[in-house]
Amino acid sequence: MLSPEKGIGKWIEDRLPVFSIARHSLIDYPTPRNLNYWWNFGSLAGITLVIMIVTGIVLAMQYTPHVDMAFNSVERIMRDVNYGWLLRYLHMNGGTMFFIVVYIHIFRGLYYGSYKAPREILWWLGIVILLLMMATAFMGYVLPWGQMSFWGTTVITNMFSAVPLVGEDIVTWLWGGFTVGNATLNRFFSLHYLLPFVIVGVVLMHIWALHTVKSNNPLGIDMKGPQDSIPFHPYYTVKDNFGLGVFFFVYLTIVFFFPNFFGEPDNYIPANPMATPPHIVPEWYFLPFYAILRAVPDKLGGVIAMFASILILFVLPWLDRARVRSARFRPIYKQFFWLFLVDCFVLGWVGANPPEGMFVTIGQVATIYYFAHFLILLPLLGMFEKTRPLPESIAASVTSAAVTSSKG
């Protein structure tokens, strides 16, 4: 093994300190000793990103971004390319897994108050990653050039026509024509290839910020000394690897046995610009936002509400005034957290159904509650909630009678 103390290892280390950086951030990095399994999802998201990039690069070697050939080139990948079916299903369902993992990661942050000082920039970078992921996933969904690809793109890009005065011009510019067409497909392919690497860049900043402020933990209190922390390796490398095994079990079960569970059958019909499918739905991970879009009975208003539902996360650290981070010590917030989670599932359910009858009302109520959670409940909780006493330290909570106060 190369050693930074002698020989070639030292020669490299003196010129580019890769060994000390790797040691500092992957081995010695002091991690709170009390992290639970909800803290596995950050590294899982990183690994999923790598899987998406690797499978994506080999798929791009076989794919043809042209309106006349895109659909057939995907079918060729499925039938003729060696393991093409596997690569495509890994990539397709990898997108689903990526969003599952990242949504859990985000709700973990919401529950344990990981967005609060001094982690605001860490939180912002996470939201930027989410936005980039959404753009990447949306553009990737266009590439197979099926009916849902075409009409999903048409609907989503048309949202920009809600912009006053220049809306129509913006949409024409996005399309590179007067409808979604070959120019649109080409630029979406280009950006779908580019954005994952931008995500990698933001992820590196995310990790940099994390290693500067250190990980939050289920107690939401700071590490006060070496007795509160354990080195990242081997403790969390082993734990992350165990989680990775569980993750692969779920992921590969989907890939091998239910590869089209999350997809839409209509996307196996080649794109037809002359016929809209009767019921257009986005991919499942966009459904809550789609419900918010449709809840507002005004074109521009709906688009604003949809973007606001994500952008509001940027100001969350200042909307939530409570100084206690973890929901374990916030009995009222804890209940509203679960209500908020249920609300997001309701929005997703509404988004998957046609905007008729009771779904309209439910969608509007759920949308109002979504924003009320951030704009009304959180500021009020910060003022009136009586929090439970925090343990003295992370070490004390596991070694003394303080255990009882940290349950939950």
Q: Which residues bind other proteins (CB under 8 A)?
A: 54-55, 58, 61-62, 76, 79-84, 86-87
User: What span, in angstroms and rounded, lies between the C-alpha atoms of 408 and 184?
Assistant: 50
Q: Angle CA(408)–CA(372)–CA(132) in degrees, nearest 5? A: 85
Contact 235, 406 (CB under 8 A): no
Q: Would you say 83 or 345 has its CB closer to other proteins? A: 83
Q: Would you say 87 or 316 has its CB closer to other proteins? A: 87
Please report how close the Cβ of residue 300 comes to other proteins at its closest, in angstroms.
Answer: 45
Q: Would you say 234 or 265 has its CB closer to other proteins? A: 234
Catalytic residues: 211, 215, 239-240, 283
Please report how close the Cβ of residue 96 comes to other proteins at its closest, in angstroms.
Answer: 19
Please report how close the Cβ of residue 143 comes to other proteins at its closest, in angstroms.
Answer: 17
Please report how close the Cβ of residue 79 comes to other proteins at its closest, in angstroms.
Answer: 7
Contact 171, 158 (CB under 8 A): yes
What are the counts of helices (DSSP H) followed by strands (DSSP E) for the chain? 17, 2
Question: Coil, strand, or helix at residue 183?
Answer: helix
Q: Would you say 77 or 106 has its CB closer to other proteins? A: 77
Nearest to 39 by CA among 109, 119, 122: 109
Nearest to 247 by CA among 69, 100, 54, 27: 100
Contacts of 307 (CB under 8 A, 6+ apart): none
- Between β-strands 229-231 and 30-32, what pairing exists: parallel, antiparallel or unpaired? antiparallel
